[in-house]
Amino acid sequence: MSPAPTLSSCRDAADPENNHKNRFKDIIPMDNLTRPYLVTYIPGSTDYINAVFSDGYKQKDAFIVTQHPLPHTTTDFWTMCYDHRCKTVVMMNEIDMKDETCQRYWPDEVGSSISCGPFRVELLSKDTSQLDIVVRDFAITLSIKNTDPHYIRHFQFRGWPRYVPVPPQKPSLLRLLGLVEKWQQRSGNNTIVVHCLNGAHQSGLFCTVSYMLERLKVEQEVDVFQSTKHTRISRPQFIPTLDQYNFLYEIAIEYMDSFDAYANFK
């Protein structure tokens, strides 16, 4: 039902100029309109980033799904957010300080900033009041042009350890979805950047749950199979295990049983 992409359909990702930007060689975007292109010119770089568009139930290209930035692709990550005017980033993985390829890609102290190529990334605020969720606000400024800052809200989900197949706490994931949806309504419903370590396993679950619950609200119908099939069009590695597939049924039941608690999904 979800054929794996062939090397011939992923020439850009396999190009010697780009293949060092892929964390895993078997999770790469295809050469079509499902992948976002980098627009801002950066000397020595290309327009490639390991990312794909994924539809929501009501909105085409509702998500850009990507891998946690590698040390040498952090500038590409912020470029993508800036070029596609994304105002929301959802981070589904934990930082692993023992893994040099999975480090923090933002300034940690409120009021501090870092430089990423032609961009300056400043941390404006940090909210740790939500269980399992850290919310940060960033200002992204392009230094080579006299432009206004671009503002991004960053949601870091801390309730899902790296080697656990599904989130241990379903209410935490529903809370994350609710916070993201409220912010999207306030900020204009721009494309949401979602990332995890490999750009598939954790991010794919977030996108599939979002798609499934949107359909539930619109049609009063849960269809786990069609929701999974649809979100896997752009990245077949979404929902890779039976554990995750079963989780979709479980979180749909959790959502319906607790509808009053999550009334912001209306």
Q: What percent of the chain has pLDDT over 70?
A: 94
208-254 residue pLDDT tens? 999 999 999 999 999 999 999 999 999 999 999 999 999 999 999 99
For the stretch 3-20, pLDDT in tens is 666 666 788 888 999 999
User: Which tens digits make up the pLDDT trace of 224-235?
Assistant: 999 999 999 999
The confidence score (pLDDT) of residue 22 equals 96
Q: How many residues does the chain have?
A: 266
Cβ density class 140-157: b for 16+ within 10 Å, e for less: bbbeeeeeeebebbbbbb
Q: What is the CA radius of gyration of the chain?
A: 18
Name 105's Cβ contacts closer than 8 Å, sequence gap at least 6: 68, 69, 74, 77, 78
Structure confidence at residue 104 (pLDDT): 95
Q: How far apart are CA 52 and CA 71, in angstroms?
A: 20
Mean local confidence (pLDDT), 120-132: 96
Residue 75 above 90 pLDDT? yes
Beta strands in 83-191 (DSSP E): 88-91, 113-116, 119-130, 133-142, 150-157
Helix/strand/coil for 117: coil
- Which CATH fold would you assign to the domain 7-265? Protein-Tyrosine Phosphatase; Chain A (3.90.190)
| Domain boundaries defined on the chain | 7-265
pLDDT over threshold 70, residue 2: no
Q: Is the dihedral of CA 61, 31, 5, 50 positive or negative?
A: negative
SS3 149: coil
- Distance from CA of residue 193 to its chain's centroid? 4
The answer to whether 52 touches 64, Cβ cutoff 8 Å, is: yes
Structure tokens at 240: 């890779």
Six-digit token pair at 250? Answer: 């479980």
